[in-house]
């Protein structure tokens, strides 16, 4: 019986570079109020959101991803040709096939990398990061590009008072590469499919195609149910990720949760009993909920503004439609 040669990867993996792209159009709450009966004060008090970015026709999923990827590759100090894997998490690329990752890989100048899309909603970045870590350690790629990208403005019902103000567009990317010591901790991830109705697409594409419904599909959610789940259950998952990494809240430098809602973020900080010295990402105020893009976009902004620095220890957690979640502790690039 022949023996299979073991994989020859790196001992560990780390995030080497990060990049982000936000569409040029900034949309204040006043624009949202043109189609729903609400107020700026109500939107801010419920979500913490003051503005969000909406993409133009030219700012496609591919175009935004290419911009974010280029910045991440440059930040990592590698060339596009060295990228051996491209993982794209999105729920707003409207071509079922081929994977948008293949188009992005070609446009950035990568040399025949593995390329595929994943659909894990707002937890998609965490899923992609975990897969990239495995590829680097396993040895199938030396450097892997992980992109979270969304054009959620295409899936927003502007007449839905519960969700019209929530969503924004953008792309965030990181490069994952080899490391000599642990810099991406164990991932605590999972799903609760019995709660899948709490965040969902309103109708199937085929219903719209066949004329069963007249309105284009949109994202809808049961706000209170999602809030309770995120605050109570995801705080537990975040703590499990800290425990798995052997890190205490006191040793943490940065907390980067999915940018869903400011009230959720603040409640998680309180439940986790994070010390005052921990920097907390609150990018949701000016970027809105960008689903899979929210964590890398928030990470990029914290580093760019000096609120976080290279080498800081950060807890990241994403959670959303499915319901799915993923949390891990990382060393910032």
The answer to whether the bond into 232 is cis (omega within 30° of 0) is: no
Residues 6+ apart with CB under 8 A from 34: none
109 C-beta neighbours (distance < 10 Å), count: 13
273 C-beta neighbours (distance < 10 Å), count: 10
289 is catalytic: yes
Query: pLDDT value at position 297?
Result: 98
Query: pLDDT value at position 223?
Result: 85
Integer CA distances (angstroms), 135 to 51, 144, 237, 265, 290, in order: 37, 8, 24, 31, 26
Residues 6+ apart with CB under 8 A from 92: 61, 149, 150, 151, 152, 154, 155, 291
With beta carbons less than 8 A apart as the criterion, state whether 49 and 29 touch.
yes
With beta carbons less than 8 A apart as the criterion, state whether 197 and 74 touch.
no
Question: CA triplet 167, 172, 173: central angle to 5 degrees?
Answer: 155
Q: What is the pTM of this model?
A: 0.96
- Residue 251 CA to residue 274 CA, distance in Å, equals 10
- Residue 178 CA to residue 139 CA, distance in Å, equals 9
Side-chain half-sphere exposure of 22, counting CA atoms within 13 A: 21
pLDDT in tens, the chain (333 residues): 888 888 888 899 999 999 999 999 999 999 999 999 999 999 999 999 999 999 999 999 999 999 999 999 999 999 999 999 999 999 999 999 999 999 999 999 999 999 999 999 999 999 999 999 999 999 999 999 999 999 999 999 999 999 999 999 999 999 999 999 999 999 999 999 999 999 999 999 899 999 999 899 999 999 889 999 999 999 999 999 999 999 999 999 999 999 999 999 999 999 999 999 999 999 999 999 999 999 999 999 999 999 999 999 999 999 999 999 999 999 999
With beta carbons less than 8 A apart as the criterion, state whether 164 and 157 touch.
yes
Q: Which secondary structure element, helix H or strand E, spans residue 106, and what is its range?
A: helix 100-108
| Partner residues linked to 192 by β-bridges | none
179-238 pLDDT, tens digit per residue, is: 999 999 999 999 999 999 999 999 998 999 999 998 999 999 998 899 999 999 999 999
Query: pLDDT value at position 191?
Result: 97
Closest CA to 149 of 111, 122, 184, 176: 122
Query: pLDDT value at position 5?
Result: 83
- Residue 62 CA to residue 95 CA, distance in Å, equals 12
Query: pLDDT value at position 106?
Result: 98
Query: pLDDT value at position 237?
Result: 98
Q: Which of 29, 93, 258, 261 is catalytic?
A: 258
Quote the crossing angle between the two packed helices 124-138 and 294-304, to the nearest 10°. 80
Residue with tokens 């659909």: 119
Query: pLDDT value at position 296?
Result: 98
Residues 6+ apart with CB under 8 A from 277: 253
Query: pLDDT value at position 6?
Result: 80
Residue with tokens 């594409």: 205
Closest CA to 238 of 308, 185, 315, 313: 315
Q: Which of 29, 53, 93, 122 is catalytic?
A: 122
* 51-54 and 83-89 beta bridge pairing: unpaired
Integer CA distances (angstroms), 267 to 156, 186, 189, 235, 245, in order: 26, 24, 20, 9, 22
Query: pLDDT value at position 7?
Result: 81
Closest CA to 288 of 53, 8, 3, 10: 53
- Residue 82 CA to residue 76 CA, distance in Å, equals 11
68 C-beta neighbours (distance < 10 Å), count: 29
């Amino acid at each position: 019986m022949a023996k299979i040669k073991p994989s020859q990867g790196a001992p560990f993996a780390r995030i080497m570079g990060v990049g982000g792209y936000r569409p040029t159009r900034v949309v204040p709450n006043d624009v949202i109020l043109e189609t729903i009966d609400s107020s700026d004060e109500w939107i801010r008090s419920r979500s913490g959101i003051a503005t969000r970015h909406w993409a133009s026709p030219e700012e496609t999923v591919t175009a935004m991803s290419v911009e974010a990827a280029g910045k991440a590759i440059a930040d990592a100090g590698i060339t596009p040709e060295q990228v051996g894997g491209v993982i794209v998490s999105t729920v707003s690329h409207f071509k079922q096939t081929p994977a948008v990752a293949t188009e992005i890989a070609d446009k950035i100048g990568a040399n025949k990398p593995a390329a595929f899309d994943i659909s894990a909603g707002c937890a998609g970045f965490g899923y992609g990061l975990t897969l990239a870590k495995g590829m680097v350690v396993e040895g199938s790629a030396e450097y892997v590009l992980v992109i979270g990208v969304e054009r959620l403005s295409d899936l927003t019902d502007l007449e839905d008072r519960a969700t019209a103000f929530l969503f924004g567009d953008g792309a965030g990317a990181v490069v994952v590469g080899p490391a000599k010591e642990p810099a991406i901790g164990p991932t605590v991830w999972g799903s609760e499919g019995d709660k899948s109705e709490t965040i969902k697409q309103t109708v199937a594409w085929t219903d719209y195609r066949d004329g069963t419904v007249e309105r284009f599909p949109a994202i809808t959610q049961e706000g209170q149910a999602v809030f309770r789940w995120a605050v109570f259950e995801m705080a537990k998952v975040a703590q499990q990720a800290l425990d798995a990494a052997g890190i205490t809240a006191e040793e943490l430098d940065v907390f980067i949760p999915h940018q869903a809602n400011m009230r959720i973020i603040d409640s998680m900080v309180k439940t986790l009993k994070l010390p005052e010295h921990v920097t907390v990402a609150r990018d949701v105020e000016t970027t809105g909920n960008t689903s899979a893009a929210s964590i890398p976009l928030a990470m990029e902004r914290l580093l760019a503004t000096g609120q976080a620095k290279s080498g800081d220890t950060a807890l990241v957690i994403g959670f959303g439609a499915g319901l799915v979640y993923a949390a891990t502790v990382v060393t910032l690039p």
